[in-house]
Amino acid sequence: PPPDSNGAAAAASGSVAASAPSADGDAAAGGKSKGQLKKEAAKAAKAAKKAEAKGGTPAGPAISTEPPSGTRDFFPAEMRTRNWLFAKFRETARQLAFVEYDAPVLEAEQLYVRKGGEEITQQMYNFTDKDGKAVSLRPEMTPTLARMILSLGGKVLLPVKWFSIPQCWRFETVQRGRKREHFQWN
């Protein structure tokens, strides 16, 4: 069993449900009424104006301590479990004569469009970088693997016995056990 089996394994698998705000937004404020929220917003605006009048900069909204939707933090206990699990993946793959590879988490968007069509871009974290190039956080590893093998220009004996445990990203609706950020043993 993993070194910390007091629930951290369930947390590492992503099966921990997070609370979500209701459609009208009142649950997001910790159960406060709309009136209370308006009062707090007015108080914050007044404080910002006061700070600005004194020559300071407005404080702005507080920074959330929650990670972005669909992602998660790995605190030490969860990290121990994740490292234990990934070590088991690596041990098993190496026993079967696979060798590990990795690649950038950022790829050219066209690599995925070519595989999945234009509609795949709706499920990707894609953007134009500062050089004007359309890029994407990798939603899967298969196109990257194909790109890597093609870059070798026939200098590798096929089939390859490579494995990876990449971090992948998909912009999908967050559900229990299905997040936007995930690791995948390939």
Question: Coil, strand or helix: which one is 122?
Answer: helix
Q: How far apart are alpha carbons 28 and 19 in whole angstroms?
A: 9
For the entire predicted model, the pTM comes to 0.64
Cα–Cα distance, 182 to 126 (Å, whole number): 16
Give pLDDT tens digits for 61-75. 789 999 999 999 999
Least confident residue range of 12-21, 29-38, 85-94: 12-21
Q: Which pLDDT score is estimated for 137?
A: 96
Per DSSP, 176 falls in state T
- pLDDT at position 102, please? 97
Question: What is the spatial distance between Cα 18 and Cα 1, in angstroms, rounded to a whole number?
Answer: 26
Q: How confident is the model at residue 98 (pLDDT cuts 50, 70, 90)?
A: very high
For 24-52, how does the pLDDT look when each residue is reduced to its tens digit (9 = 90+)?
Answer: 444 444 567 777 777 777 777 777 677 66
Q: State the number of CA atoms in the 13 A half-sphere of 38 facing the CB.
A: 3
Whether 77 has a pLDDT exceeding 90, the answer reads yes
Quick check: helix, strand or coil at residue 126? strand
What's the mean per-residue pLDDT of the chain?
Answer: 81
Listed in sequence order, the residues at least 6 apart from 56 whose beta carbon sits closer than 8 Å to its beta carbon are: none
159: cis peptide before it, omega within 30°? Answer: yes
Average pLDDT over residues 55-60: 61
Per residue in 140-171, pLDDT (tens digit) is: 999 999 999 999 999 999 999 999 999 999 99
CA distances from 4 to 17, 19, 63, 78, 85 (A): 20, 25, 31, 8, 12
Which residues are CB-contacts of 112 (< 8 A; sequence separation ≥ 6)? 120, 121, 124, 136, 138, 139, 140, 143
13-22, 61-70, 160-169, 172-181: which is most confident: 160-169
With beta carbons less than 8 A apart as the criterion, state whether 139 and 169 touch.
Answer: yes
Q: What is the tens place of the pLDDT at every residue in 116-143?
A: 877 788 889 999 999 999 999 999 999 9
